[in-house]
Amino acid sequence: MAAEYANLFVWLIGLFGIVGIVIVNVARFVIKDSLAYDESFVWRRKLPKESRKD
């Protein structure tokens, strides 16, 4: 029975590790995302100064 608990524990650590890596990378992406990047590479245009909230 102890071997099964150990196996479950290892799988849970792996699962939470993968989920943690995904969460960290999404958080980094959201933090580094900027309006200037969106203007340059997504919209390929410049927005008027009134629409910016710098």
* CA–CA distance, 26 with 49 (Å, rounded to integer): 29
Query: Looking at residue 51, what is its pLDDT?
Result: 67
Residues 3 and 11 sit within 8 Å (Cβ to Cβ): no
Q: What is the pLDDT of residue 8?
A: 97
Q: Which domain holds residue 43?
A: 2-51
List of E strands, 1-54: none
Return the pLDDT at 27. Answer: 92
Tokens of 34: 């900027």
Q: Domain tally for the chain?
A: 1
List pLDDT tens digits, range 1-54: 999 999 999 999 999 999 999 999 999 988 887 777 777 777 777 667 776 665
pTM, two decimals, is 0.61
